[in-house]
Amino acid sequence: MDKSTIFEGLKKYFKFDEFKSKLQEAAVIEVCQRKHDVYVSMPTGSGKSLCYQLPAVLHDSKITIVFSPLLALIKDQVDSLLALQIRAASLNSKITKTEREKLLADLKSTSPVTRLLYVTPEQAATKTFKELFANLYKFNKVAYIVVDEAHCVSEWGHDFRPDYLKLGNLRENCNVPCIALTATAGAQVTKDIISSLRLAKDHKIFKTSCFRSNLFYDVYFPNILEDPYKHLKSFIEDCLKFEKEKDLANNQKSCGIIYCRTREQTELLASKLNSMKIKSLCYHAGLKNHERLDFQEMWQRGEVPVICATISFGMGVDKASVRFVIHWGVPKDPASFYQETGRAGRDGKPSWCRVYYNRADCKAVEFHLTQDLGKAKSGGKEAKKLNVENAVKGFKKVVEYCESPSQCRHILFSNHFGEPPPVCKKNCDWCKDKKAVREMVEFFLTKSVQ
Ligand code: ADP
Ligand code: MG
Ligand code: ZN
């Protein structure tokens, strides 16, 4: 299929003048050729759906089957396609008998009008669906098999769905290109996706690099600072100095997040900062629902620039002007650390990610992990044990990141995502001045005998 057909389709069916990114464009062009299986990994909101929806529409005599984990997600997708006059439908337990019969009749007809058929993994395991699929395949009517939120096949991922594993079977003796999509997944999850969905050896990968070149990473040790709170205060003030720009709307005002391990720490730190004239709020699961909402909104609106929070804070937070993310203690593992600090600098402007590392906090985490490990071992559940062992490994990596740095800070993440090390230039303390980092760590170690 040629490029001009694809560009015309983008405008004609989706009303977009251009692709959202070069990567989206390249993925669409590749998928349209139907020559290879394709793996797409881009962050949420980057327009992964279009990578299969546009090709689906352009193959106008065939049907694209999309597996998606939740009915709510499916409904959103189908509704927005229908709003664009694109024939999409969903086969699930919620539709009426008449709807189902009408849909099946169309799918079995010689020239079906349905372009995209959305199916839950549970539905995919039913006899009705298997027969339907065999029939469509036999008459060469399947354009693509799409697996959205493909990380659900992996036990290493955060929302494993056993039924997703069966999707691989569908591909047995079936020569239809498979398109697997997920938001940035770690190396292990990616491996699982490729093997479970049996992507062909020559599959193509379209993946956003995990490197965030506008984020500066560093680590400090409160126990060797003369006054850790003063240090924190001046760091916050430096990060927030864009605030002076008067014409900014409130929701664009600079702000930041400080992650603490416990509720008590969030409260203590917030009151400490307030006493030092830095307006702060705390946020944790122990607050009343309305308080939590109020606090989050006050921060979101830009009335209070700093929120001291447990890691429960951040899901669904969509604020572009987060200038800093501080871990007051120690992050949990590379994946969480990446996700939490990733909330900084969404607007692309320089932003700072700092750990104020302390051993006491580290010991507390180790204590909990050891307990969990003991429980998991005596509980006898292999999966649970693996999970905890994994958590221990992840934690060791962040401790090493803090206590014995030996390379660019961003490499913690590129390793986790299975990518080559980025060209950091001076986006971390190590690359900026490794001698100073070494000296600081040495001093920390002499001051913190076990
Ligand atoms: P993802 O699945 O990667 O999280 P979506 O596919 O849901 O992202 O798309 C996110 C948003 O981007 C949607 O509102 C979609 O309409 C929009 N979008 C996708 N492609 C383009 C484009 N080429 N131009 C403008 N907006 C786009
Ligand atoms: Mg999506
Ligand atoms: Zn670096």
Which residues neighbour 30 within 8 Å (Cβ) at sequence distance 6 or greater?
A: 36, 38, 204, 206
- 246 or 97: which leads in pLDDT: 97
Contact 41 CB / ligand 1 (< 6 Å): no
Longest CA span, the chain: 78
Which residues are bridge partners to 360 per DSSP?
Answer: none
Q: How far is the CA of 403 from the centre of ligand 3 (A)?
A: 16
- Flag whether pLDDT at 157 surpasses 70: no
Q: What is the pLDDT of residue 383?
A: 75
Which residues neighbour 244 within 8 Å (Cβ) at sequence distance 6 or greater?
A: none
Burial class (CB in 10 A: 0-12, 13-18, 19+), 306: buried
CA dihedral in degrees (219, 220, 223, 224; nearest 10)? 130
Q: What is the pLDDT of residue 448?
A: 85
Positive or negative torsion for Cα 260, 265, 271, 275 = negative
Range 252-262 average pLDDT:
93
- Flag whether pLDDT at 247 surpasses 70: no
Percent of the chain with pLDDT over 90: 77
Q: What is the pLDDT of residue 158?
A: 66
Q: How far is the CA of 182 from the centre of ligand 2 (A)?
A: 7
- Flag whether pLDDT at 305 surpasses 90: yes
Contact 49 CB / ligand 1 (< 6 Å): yes
Percent of the chain with pLDDT over 70: 96
Q: What is the pLDDT of residue 225?
A: 97
Atom of ligand 1 nearest to the CA of 51: 6
Q: How many CB atoms sit inside 10 A of residue 324's CB?
A: 25
Q: How far is the CA of 411 from the centre of ligand 2 (A)?
A: 27
- Residue minimizing CA distance to atom 26 of ligand 1: 20
Q: What is the pLDDT of residue 23?
A: 97
CA atoms within 13 A of residue 35's CA, in its CB half-sphere:
8
Q: How far is the CA of 134 from the centre of ligand 2 (A)?
A: 27
ipTM: 0.98
Q: How far is the CA of 44 from the centre of ligand 1 (A)?
A: 9
Q: What is the pLDDT of residue 246?
A: 59
**pLDDT confidence band for 156 (50 / 70 / 90):** confident
- Flag whether pLDDT at 115 surpasses 90: yes
Q: What is the average pLDDT score of the chain?
A: 92
From 16, 25, 84, 149, the mutation candidate for ligand 1 (largest count of ligand atoms within 8 A of CB) is 16
- Flag whether pLDDT at 194 surpasses 60: yes
pTM score = 0.81
Which residues neighbour 264 within 8 Å (Cβ) at sequence distance 6 or greater?
A: none
Return the H-helix or E-strand segment holding 170: helix 167-170
From 21, 41, 49, 179, the mutation candidate for ligand 1 (largest count of ligand atoms within 8 A of CB) is 49
What's the CA gap between 382 and 188, in Å, rounded?
A: 18
Residue 268 amino acid letter: L
Contact 66 CB / ligand 1 (< 6 Å): no
Q: How far is the CA of 148 from the centre of ligand 2 (A)?
A: 7
- Helices 263-275 and 228-239, axial angle in degrees (round to 10): 80
**pLDDT confidence band for 40 (50 / 70 / 90):** very high
DSSP string, 389-450: HHHHHHHHHHHHHHHS--S-TTHHHHHHTT-PPP--TTSBHHHH-HHHHHHHHHHHHHH---
Tell how far CA 371 is from the center of its chain.
29
Range 28-36 average pLDDT:
98
Q: Which among 170-179, 233-242, 424-433 has the top mean pLDDT?
A: 424-433
